[in-house]
């Protein structure tokens, strides 16, 4: 902590010149933001490829994938994916996507880059912690990747790593030896990184706001990042000790999660008295807030972008949405038990957990209605960013609706652990958050790299993705209704065999939608080096990031003291040269 | 957080960008905010561990109490003492600041004396902190001699986990104090604030130990 | 572009809901006493959420069509935010209340109500990756379980000790669950290694089987037939292949089955 | 010049052949045969319920029984490994690979003896994924799955050990790898009989191993090309 007070001093006068200081171990929040974004980009690519592999396996269980045997001779002999390798792919897909994409990109990535700018600060409160935060996360990523190359492969216990499968060790199956150890260590490191990040976000938001930037004048994106940081602070502080206990159970012979008298692959385990449910409680107390850590930043990003392209402020101003996000964040700590309705927990507590879970739909319903009500009477401008915002609203509705089913214990007894659940959280958490990331990318890239992205490619990317995700995840609801259990590497049960064609359809859709993402990758890379120069405020937006150059100078505002004089979303203003009022009028941004 | 007492550092120091700290710091002191945020996070993770302890105690029939090493109580006293010495050193430094701004001519020497006095008490605090860690290690050794190891039973497992995690946090505090002392010796800008920040953390770790001791005494 | 988005969204919405109206993929007919209440609950939720889903998607589509592009004077929602917020709270609140009251009843009937005291008692052992079922045999007493005796090699899945434990000698251990129809069944769920799950879609019931805990679990099957018991809790590499059969028989068939089992 | 080469060549050939002669163990013509029987009531073998794996269940008209105590007429005991545990005068190096099959969700053979560092090939002849998990303690343990259509697993063991083999997907599948230091071994057939061939004259210790009832030994002396008899009797328990 004592390092903290040194920060106002370590602020560097002039940008560092050395490559290492400038691009690698940089203290500049903008560079760190881009580093997070790049890490998420790499992670999302890996995660997508993994999903392709196991989708192919689900459609055609005995199909040989040429070349895979060279990557994993044990996992895919002759290119045919074994049941345990399917689970490994699934586990790594879930872990990578949830932790290294959905937490990194919308929160740590965009947040690091734009939170200080949007509040008129010239850097985060603790640049050194900021740098440590990224490099810890990066180390976590490397450790996670290492699991692919250990002897018997990555862990097979799913991203939730339920004890006792995760806590027993190698007897539990291939991948549960070193692979699971690496998993636990990686997640522990990730927690540390995110804790440092959250600390930074909170302190920065509270203390480094410039003159006139009152809390009610903060853009919704900043609000979302702030709230997310508050959620993450507690969530990751809960997961970290859980991971430590798991590692001890696996390596030090303790019995936190391992009960007595377990016989795993004919070996009587030397444990006594542990509680497998304890892991589930610790995990989901983190796990449910984690869902909101993924979705609330995306929510804020959309709420931040939409007014710009509607050319009108949101219905009811920013306060309603802020209230919704705060309420959701608060409630998210009372509902973890709805993941455990049939876990052997006391059936009475199921009802206690189900009520707040249903109540949590209220803030999100209100927020959705606010979005819809805001579109009424707007002057919608269509481009990649705004399209992804509208797409976000649609998929968020689709995903939120299915929450009504799973929040009820009496339906969970039928739908629990079926593809209905997979469809639900992919729509509401994964796809919605990814749409938020895409919207943010198309909206902010001009500012981040100073070049305009290609709109035609962007729109094409939107349409293929939008239709694609519905083709992938809508059918999963039907599978769930038919009782199709998730995490099955092949469908041998009589009642599942008729459903295989649906899986084939989903696989094809997934491959095509995945292929469409290469348009995005191409667009991004092409823009980075060959895109046309971006003006300072291409979207006629109002918030502070648009009153500086693209990309912003090293200290964000070229030494100008920003004084905020207006609310964040003053659009549709009449009687002026423009239909909008910038948040600050101090010194027009210097042109290129 | 205690933003009221804070006077924004004026732009005297040549190394800071012109007036930027004035703008950025008007809302509060980042380090102060940060330390409170960190404290709440640490509190959260120990709360998680405590609830885990309670669940685990209920889940199995193998929860055995064991005799706590007496040295734990001595450690507690040491830690409380360290909090006091830290406060003393803070007072000295505060006095040093006030007397250095006093108009009288001899003030400089007085200030110097008070500063060195403060440093003395700071070092005392550091020593006590390290002494505490040594004491914890001794406590572990005595358990080990009784054959109570990490994996012996759930109660010992939790004892080792809790004390180890607390010890790590305390060592972090020690490092922080060393850094602060270094800054104070260099008479760096708002090193005072750093000391205050470090004190908040140090007292928290102190309280945390109190809480843990309670848990341990009641449950083990 | 707005019109295109509108049309696309309308098509997506209609296509999405069609299979649900058409019951193209649907839960298998229920065979348990408590099943109908779950189905009724499911239908109610489908109707309620279906209305919300279609209406909100169509409103989004309509607004995007109506308010795209043209440089006209912006309007704001008549009445402002308050009625919208109120509307949202009320409609969802009502939905929640109705669902919770009906749903809790169904849940209570399945999980909170105690089992019938005359229920037929069967012991279930889950392991990687199979279920095994144990009937007390003629003496009506279950032999005690000794984890150290558990062995797949000689088929001692429950860890019985017939050498010293007389009650264990006539225990019947089989690989599929045979039960008489319309008789309350009380299962005791054990697991010897991982967390498994006992799921029969037709029963509309599932329950985790947690190592270290014996979980009671009761139901009544109302239709004769052969159904699949599957595991829904990731338990290792063979998770997908972990299943057994639930054979609901007439009382007479069941009796003869039991006699034949204890015979050999 | 040329003669020099010739000389060198002949010497080399002579030396080589001579070494070969001495290296080869004396190929004996003696043999040991006998019958494995039991006393007491054997445990009842249980029928295996394969209904969870239809592709296998339909391969068996009558339900497959467990094989850990496989008895036959005349109290004969099958699947007992008999081998030379001492006095063996060097074995011929393992020539061809031994084959282990997974067919109809059974391990074939139930007990597979092999020589140290002999090539072992494991085939999956079923239309379903199998998993081979030899629970080795002395040798290195591994655990691999074998989906239908994937190549045979090719491996070997370097230290002598009795290794239980299980399939993690089909819990009833159980067998044994018996890794031996000798090439002189046999497995008792359904009638309990066995024959160890190719033994040179000498004093031998013969060991019989049964997966549930452990080992027994006898000393046998062979002179010339005779066939000695060595019968083993295991005491079995009903439970």
Number of CB pairs, chain A paired with chain D, less than 8 A apart: 54
Strands (E), chain C: 120-127, 130-135, 172-174, 177-180, 184-191, 196-200, 205-209, 215-220, 225-230, 243-249
CA atoms of A27 and D193, how far apart (whole Å): 80
What's the mean pLDDT in A327-350?
Answer: 90
What's the mean pLDDT in A34-54?
Answer: 96
CB < 8 Å to B20, chain A: 11, 122, 555, 559, 561
CB < 8 Å to B27, chain A: 206-209
- Note whether A touches B: 3 CB pairs or more under 8 A: yes
- Say whether pLDDT at C254 is over 60: yes
pLDDT score at A4: 40
- Where does the pLDDT of residue B214 fall: very low under 50, low under 70, confident under 90, or very high at 90 and above? very high
Question: How long is chain D?
Answer: 239
- Where does the pLDDT of residue A8 fall: very low under 50, low under 70, confident under 90, or very high at 90 and above? very low
- Where does the pLDDT of residue B8 fall: very low under 50, low under 70, confident under 90, or very high at 90 and above? very low
- Note whether D touches B: 3 CB pairs or more under 8 A: no
Chains with ≥3 CB–CB distances under 8 Å to A: B, C, D
C-contacting residues in D 186-225 (Cβ below 8 Å): 211-212
Q: In terms of domains, do C236 and C130 share one? A: yes
Domain that holds residue B186: 28-219
pLDDT score at B13: 33
CB contact under 8 A, A410 and C25: no
Q: Pick the most confident of A177-181, A315-319, B149-153, D57-61.
A: A177-181
Q: What is the pLDDT of residues A235-290, one digit of tens each?
A: 999 999 999 999 999 999 899 999 988 999 888 998 888 899 999 999 999 999 99
- Say whether pLDDT at D21 is over 80: no
pLDDT score at D2: 62
Among A219, A200, A121, smallest CA distance to A556 is for A121
Mean pLDDT across chain D, nearest whole number? 85
CB < 8 Å to C127, chain D: 171
Strands (E), A137-277: 263-264, 267-268
CB contact under 8 A, C152 and D168: no
CA-nearest residue to A383 within chain C is: C1
And the tokens for A288?
A: 């449910």
What's the mean pLDDT in A354-375?
Answer: 92
- Where does the pLDDT of residue A174 fall: very low under 50, low under 70, confident under 90, or very high at 90 and above? confident
- Where does the pLDDT of residue C234 fall: very low under 50, low under 70, confident under 90, or very high at 90 and above? very high
Q: Does C42 touch chain A (CB under 8 A)?
A: yes
Among A108, A118, A520, A540, smallest CA distance to A318 is for A118
- Say whether pLDDT at A394 is over 50: yes
pLDDT score at B186: 83
Q: What is the pLDDT of residues A194-247, one digit of tens each?
A: 999 999 999 999 999 988 898 889 999 999 999 999 999 999 999 999 999 999
Instruction: Classify residue B88: in a domain, yes or no.
Output: yes
CA atoms of A378 and A310, how far apart (whole Å): 5
Q: What is the pLDDT of residues B181-209, one digit of tens each?
A: 998 888 777 778 889 999 999 999 999 99
At A216, is the secondary structure helix, strand, or coil? helix
Q: What is the pLDDT of residues C67-117, one digit of tens each?
A: 987 667 788 888 888 999 999 999 889 888 888 888 888 888 888 888 888
CB contact under 8 A, C24 and A478: yes
Q: What is the pLDDT of residues A484-507, one digit of tens each?
A: 999 999 998 889 999 999 999 999
CA distance A560 to chain B (A): 9
Q: In terms of domains, do C164 and C62 share one? A: no
D-contacting residues in C 104-143 (Cβ below 8 Å): 127-130
Tally of structural domains, chain B:
1
Chain C interface, best mutation among D41, D52, D105, D163, by max C CB count within 10 A: D52
- For Cα atoms A380, C52, C54, give the angle at the middle one, nearest 5 degrees: 65
**Is residue A529 reached through a cis peptide bond, with omega within 30 degrees of 0 on the bond before it?**
no
Q: What is the pLDDT of residues B166-184, one digit of tens each?
A: 999 999 999 999 999 998 8
And the tokens for A136?
A: 């810890």
- Contact between A506 and A476 (Cβ < 8 Å): yes
Domain that holds residue C187: 120-263
- Say whether pLDDT at A33 is over 70: yes
- Where does the pLDDT of residue B103 fall: very low under 50, low under 70, confident under 90, or very high at 90 and above? low
C-alpha neighbours within 13 Å on the C-beta side of residue B79? 28
For B44, the closest of A234, A254, A278 (CB atoms) is A234
For D171, the closest of C127, C163, C243 (CB atoms) is C127
CB contact under 8 A, C80 and A316: yes
pTM equals 0.91
CA-nearest residue to B55 within chain A is: A278
Among A574, A359, A384, A367, smallest CA distance to A462 is for A384
CB contact under 8 A, B157 and A282: no
CA distance C216 to chain D (A): 24
Instruction: Classify residue B20: in a domain, yes or no.
Output: no
CA distance B111 to chain A (A): 22
And the tokens for A536?
A: 């300072």
DSSP-assigned states of every residue in chain D: -HHHHHHHHHHHHHHHHHHHHHHS-----EEEEEEEEEESPPPPPPBP--TT-HHHHTT-SSPPBP-TT-EEGGGEE-S-EEEEEE-----PPP-SPEEEEEETTEEESSEEEEETT--EEEEE-SSS-EEEEE--SSS----EEE-TTSPPEEE--SS-EEEEEE-SSSTT-EEEEEEES-S-EEE--TTSEEEEEEEPSEEEEEEEEETTTEEEEEEEEE-SS-EEE--EEEE----
Range in A95-109, A137-151, A479-493, C69-83 the model is least confident about: C69-83
Instruction: Classify residue D143: in a domain, yes or no.
Output: yes
CB contact under 8 A, A381 and C69: yes
Q: What is the pLDDT of residues A533-544, one digit of tens each?
A: 999 999 999 999
Q: In terms of domains, do C105 and C191 share one? A: no
- Contact between A168 and A176 (Cβ < 8 Å): yes
Q: Does D121 touch chain A (CB under 8 A)?
A: no
- Where does the pLDDT of residue A57 fall: very low under 50, low under 70, confident under 90, or very high at 90 and above? very high
- Say whether pLDDT at A151 is over 90: no
Instruction: Classify residue B90: in a domain, yes or no.
Output: yes
For D49, the closest of C152, C176, C236 (CB atoms) is C176
- Where does the pLDDT of residue D179 fall: very low under 50, low under 70, confident under 90, or very high at 90 and above? very high
Residue with tokens 């019995």: A255
CB < 8 Å to C176, chain D: 49, 51
- Say whether pLDDT at B102 is over 80: no
pLDDT score at D1: 52
Radius of gyration of chain B from its Cα atoms, rounded to whole angstroms: 21
Number of CB pairs, chain A paired with chain C, less than 8 A apart: 323
Chain B interface, best mutation among A4, A238, A287, A289, by max B CB count within 10 A: A4
CA atoms of C30 and A163, how far apart (whole Å): 32
Burial profile D33-71: b = 16 or more Cβ within 10 angstroms, e = fewer: bbbbbbeeebbebbbbbbbbbeebbebeeeebebbbbbb
For A174, the closest of D143, D151, D169 (CB atoms) is D143
For A413, the closest of C38, C63, C194 (CB atoms) is C38
Q: In terms of domains, do C91 and C197 share one? A: no
CB contact under 8 A, A481 and C194: no
Please report, for the domain that includes residue B104, its CATH number. 1.20.120.80
pLDDT score at B27: 66
Q: In terms of domains, do C107 and C210 share one? A: no
Tally of structural domains, chain D:
1
pLDDT score at B9: 38
CA-nearest residue to A84 within chain C is: C237
Instruction: Classify residue B13: in a domain, yes or no.
Output: no
CA-nearest residue to B179 within chain A is: A2
- Contact between C48 and A404 (Cβ < 8 Å): yes
Residue D130's CB is within 10 A of a number of other CB atoms, namely 27
Q: Does C114 touch chain A (CB under 8 A)?
A: no
Q: Does C163 touch chain D (CB under 8 A)?
A: yes
Mean pLDDT across chain A, nearest whole number? 91
What's the mean pLDDT in B14-41?
Answer: 64
Q: In terms of domains, do C162 and C258 share one? A: yes
What's the mean pLDDT in D58-72?
Answer: 87
pLDDT score at C1: 81
A-contacting residues in C 57-96 (Cβ below 8 Å): 57, 59-60, 63-64, 67-72, 74-77, 80-82, 84-85, 87-89, 91-93, 95-96
The fraction of chain A above a pLDDT of 70, given in percent, is 96
Chain D interface, best mutation among A266, A490, A496, by max D CB count within 10 A: A266
Domain that holds residue D162: 26-235
- For Cα atoms A108, A114, A120, give the angle at the middle one, nearest 5 degrees: 135
Instruction: Classify residue B214: in a domain, yes or no.
Output: yes
pLDDT score at A424: 95
CA atoms of A73 and A63, how far apart (whole Å): 16
Q: What is the pLDDT of residues D189-223, one digit of tens each?
A: 999 999 998 888 888 999 999 988 889 999 988 88
pLDDT score at B98: 77
What's the mean pLDDT in A12-22?
Answer: 70
Q: In terms of domains, do C62 and C133 share one? A: no
pLDDT score at A5: 38
- Say whether pLDDT at B23 is over 50: no
Please report, for the domain that includes residue C238, its CATH number. 2.60.40.420
CB < 8 Å to A152, chain D: 142-143
Tally of structural domains, chain C:
2
Q: What is the pLDDT of residues C35-78, one digit of tens each?
A: 999 999 999 999 999 999 999 999 999 999 999 876 677 888 88
Q: In terms of domains, do C212 and C140 share one? A: yes
Q: Does A210 touch chain B (CB under 8 A)?
A: yes
* Domains of chain A from N-terminus onward: 32-259+274-547 (1.20.210.10)
Residue spans of alpha helices (H) in A311-429: 317-331, 347-359, 361-375, 384-406, 409-415, 419-425
Residue B106 CB burial class (10 angstroms; 0-12, 13-18, ≥19): exposed
H or E element, residue A276: helix A276-310
- Say whether pLDDT at C171 is over 60: yes
Instruction: Classify residue D20: in a domain, yes or no.
Output: no
Instruction: Classify residue D111: in a domain, yes or no.
Output: yes
The dihedrals phi and psi of D60, each to the nearest 5 degrees, come to -120, 115
Instruction: Give the rounded distance of the alpha carbon of B87 from its chain centre.
Output: 12
The dihedrals phi and psi of C38, each to the nearest 5 degrees, come to -65, -45
Instruction: Classify residue B120: in a domain, yes or no.
Output: yes
Q: In terms of domains, do C33 and C125 share one? A: no
- Say whether pLDDT at A17 is over 80: no
- Where does the pLDDT of residue D25 fall: very low under 50, low under 70, confident under 90, or very high at 90 and above? low
Please report, for the domain that includes residue D93, its CATH number. 2.60.40.420
Residue with tokens 């019938």: C116
Instruction: Classify residue B10: in a domain, yes or no.
Output: no
**ipTM value:** 0.88
pLDDT score at D14: 60
What's the mean pLDDT in A397-420?
Answer: 93
- Say whether pLDDT at D33 is over 70: yes
């Amino acid at each position: 902590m004592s390092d903290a007070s040194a920060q106002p001093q370590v602020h560097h006068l002039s940008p560092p010149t050395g490559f290492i200081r400038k691009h690698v171990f940089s203290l500049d929040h903008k560079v760190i933001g881009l580093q997070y974004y790049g890490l998420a980009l790499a992670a999302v690519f890996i995660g997508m490829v993994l999903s392709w592999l196991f989708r192919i396996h689900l459609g055609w269980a005995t199909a040989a994938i040429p070349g895979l045997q060279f990557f994993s001779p044990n996992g895919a002999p002759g290119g045919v994916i074994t049941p345990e390798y399917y689970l490994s792919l699934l586990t790594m897909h879930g872990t990578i996507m949830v932790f290294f994409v959905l937490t990194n990109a919308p929160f740590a990535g965009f947040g690091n880059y734009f939170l200080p700018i949007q509040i008129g600060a010239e850097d985060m409160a603790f640049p050194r912690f900021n740098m440590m935060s990224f490099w810890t996360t990066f180390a976590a990523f490397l450790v996670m990747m290492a699991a692919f190359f250990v002897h018997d492969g990555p862990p097979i216990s799913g991203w939730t790593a339920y004890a006792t499968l995760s806590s027993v060790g190698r007897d539990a199956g291939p991948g549960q030896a070193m692979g699971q150890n690496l998993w636990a260590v990686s997640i522990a490191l990730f927690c540390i990184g995110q804790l440092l990040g959250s600390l930074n976000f909170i302190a920065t938001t509270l203390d480094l706001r410039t003159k006139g930037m009152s809390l009610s004048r903060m853009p919704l994106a900043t609000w979302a990042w702030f709230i997310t940081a508050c959620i993450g602070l507690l969530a990751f502080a809960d997961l970290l000790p859980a991971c430590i206990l798991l590692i001890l159970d696996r390596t030090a012979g303790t019995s936190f999660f391992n009960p007595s008298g377990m016989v795993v692959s004919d070996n009587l385990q030397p444990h006594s008295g542990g509680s497998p449910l304890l892991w589930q409680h610790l995990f989901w107390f983190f796990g449910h807030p984690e869902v909101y850590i993924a979705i609330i930043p995306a929510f804020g990003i959309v709420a931040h972008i939409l007014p710009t392209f509607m050319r009108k402020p949101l219905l009811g101003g920013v306060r309603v949405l802020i209230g919704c996000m705060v309420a959701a964040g608060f409630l998210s700590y009372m509902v973890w038990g709805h993941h455990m309705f049939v876990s052997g927990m006391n059936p009475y507590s199921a009802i206690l957990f189900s009520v707040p879970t249903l109540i949590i739909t209220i803030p999100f319903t209100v927020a959705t209605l606010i979005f819809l009500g805001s579109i009424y009477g707007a002057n919608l401008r269509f481009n990649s960013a705004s399209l992804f915002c509208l797409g976000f609203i649609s998929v968020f509705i689709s995903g939120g609706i299915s929450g009504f089913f799973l929040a009820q214990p009496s339906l969970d007894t039928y739908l629990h652990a079926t593809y209905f659940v997979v469809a639900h959280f992919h729509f509401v958490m994964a796809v919605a958050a990814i749409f938020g990331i895409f919207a943010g990318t198309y909206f902010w890239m001009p500012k981040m790299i100073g070049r305009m992205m290609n709109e035609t490619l962007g729109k094409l990317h939107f349409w293929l993705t939008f239709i694609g995700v519905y083709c992938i995840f809508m059918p999963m609801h039907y599978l769930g209704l038919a009782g199709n259990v998730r995490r099955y590497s092949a469908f041998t049960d009589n009642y599942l065999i008729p459903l295989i064609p649906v899986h084939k359809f989903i696989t094809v859709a997934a491959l095509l939608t995945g292929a469409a993402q290469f348009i995005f990758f191409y667009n991004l890379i092409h823009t980075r080096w060959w895109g046309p120069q971006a003006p300072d405020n291409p979207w006629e937006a109002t918030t502070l990031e648009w009153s500086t150059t693209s990309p912003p100078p090293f200290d964000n505002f070229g030494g100008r003291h920003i004084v905020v004089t207006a609310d964040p979303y003053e659009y549709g203003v009449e009687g002026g040269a423009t239909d909008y009022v910038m948040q600050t009028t101090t010194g027009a941004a210097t042109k290129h | 957080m205690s933003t009221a007492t804070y006077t924004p550092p004026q732009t005297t120091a040549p190394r800071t960008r012109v007036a930027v700290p004035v703008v950025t710091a008007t809302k509060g002191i980042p380090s102060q905010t940060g330390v409170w945020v960190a404290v709440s996070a640490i509190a959260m993770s120990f709360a998680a561990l405590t609830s885990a302890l309670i669940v685990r105690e209920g889940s199995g029939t193998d929860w055995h109490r064991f005799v706590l090493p007496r040295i734990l109580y001595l450690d507690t006293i040491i830690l409380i003492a360290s909090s006091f010495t830290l406060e003393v050193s803070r007072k000295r430094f505060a006095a040093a600041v006030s007397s250095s701004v006093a108009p009288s001519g001899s003030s400089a020497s007085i200030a110097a004396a008070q500063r060195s006095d403060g440093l003395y008490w700071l070092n005392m605090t550091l020593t006590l902190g390290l002494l505490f860690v040594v004491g914890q290690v001794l406590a572990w050794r005595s358990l080990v001699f009784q054959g109570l190891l990490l994996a012996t039973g759930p109660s010992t497992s939790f004892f080792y986990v809790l004390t180890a995690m607390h010890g790590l946090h305390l060592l972090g505090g020690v490092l922080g104090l060393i850094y602060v002392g270094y800054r104070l010796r260099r008479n760096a800008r708002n090193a005072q604030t750093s000391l205050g920040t470090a004190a908040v953390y140090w007292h928290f770790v102190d309280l945390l130990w109190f809480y843990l001791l309670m848990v341990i005494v009641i449950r083990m | 572009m707005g019109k295109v988005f509108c049309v696309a969204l309308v098509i997506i919405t209609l296509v999405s809901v069609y299979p649900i109206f058409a019951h193209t993929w649907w839960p298998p007919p229920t065979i348990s006493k408590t099943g109908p209440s779950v189905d009724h609950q499911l239908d109610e939720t489908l109707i309620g959420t279906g209305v919300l889903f279609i209406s909100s998607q169509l409103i989004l589509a309509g607004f995007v069509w109506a308010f795209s592009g043209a440089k006209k004077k912006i309007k704001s929602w008549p009445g402002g935010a308050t009625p919208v917020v109120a509307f949202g709270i009320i409609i969802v609140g009502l939905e929640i209340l109705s669902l919770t009251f009906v749903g809790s009843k169904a849940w209570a009937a399945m999980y909170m109500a105690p089992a019938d005291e005359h229920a037929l008692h069967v012991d279930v052992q889950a392991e990687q990756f199979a279920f095994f079922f144990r009937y007390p045999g003629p003496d009506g007493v279950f032999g005690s379980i000794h984890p150290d005796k558990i062995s797949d090699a000689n088929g001692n899945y429950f860890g019985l000790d017939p050498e010293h434990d007389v009650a264990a000698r006539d225990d019947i251990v089989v690989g599929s669950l045979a039960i008489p129809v319309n008789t309350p069944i009380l299962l005791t769920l054990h697991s010897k290694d991982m967390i498994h799950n006992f799921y029969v879609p037709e029963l509309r019931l599932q329950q985790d089987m947690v190592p270290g805990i014996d979980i009671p679990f009761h139901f009544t099957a109302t239709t004769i037939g052969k159904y699949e018991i599957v595991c829904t809790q990731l338990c290792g590499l063979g998770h997908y292949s972990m299943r057994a059969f639930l054979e609901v028989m007439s009382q007479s068939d069941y009796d003869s089955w039991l006699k034949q089992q204890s015979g050999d | 010049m040329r003669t020099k080469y010739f000389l060198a060549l002949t010497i080399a050939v002579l030396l080589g052949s001579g070494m070969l002669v001495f290296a080869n163990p004396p190929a004996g013509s003696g043999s040991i045969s006998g019958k494995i029987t039991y006393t007491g009531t054997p445990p009842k073998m249980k029928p295996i319920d394969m209904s969870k794996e239809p592709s296998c269940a339909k391969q068996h008209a009558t339900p497959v029984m467990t094989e850990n105590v496989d008895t036959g007429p005349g109290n004969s005991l099958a699947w007992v490994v008999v081998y030379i545990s001492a006095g063996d005068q060097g074995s011929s190096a393992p020539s061809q690979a031994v084959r282990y099959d997974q067919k109809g969700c059974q391990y074939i053979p139930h007990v597979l003896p092999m020589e140290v560092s002999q090539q072992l090939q494991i085939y999956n002849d079923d239309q379903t994924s199998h998993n081979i998990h030899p629970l080795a303690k002395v040798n290195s343990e591994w655990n691999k799955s074998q989906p239908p259509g994937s190549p045979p697993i090719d491996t070997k063991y370097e230290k002598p050990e009795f290794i239980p083999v299980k399939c993690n997907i089909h819990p009833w599948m159980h067998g044994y790898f018996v890794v031996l230091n000798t090439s002189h071994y046999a497995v008792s057939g359904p009638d309990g009989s066995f024959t160890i061939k190719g033994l040179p004259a000498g004093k031998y210790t013969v060991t019989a191993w049964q997966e549930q009832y452990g080992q027994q030994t006898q000393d046998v002396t062979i002179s010339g090309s005779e066939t000695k008899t060595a019968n083993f009797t295991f005491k079995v328990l009903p439970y």
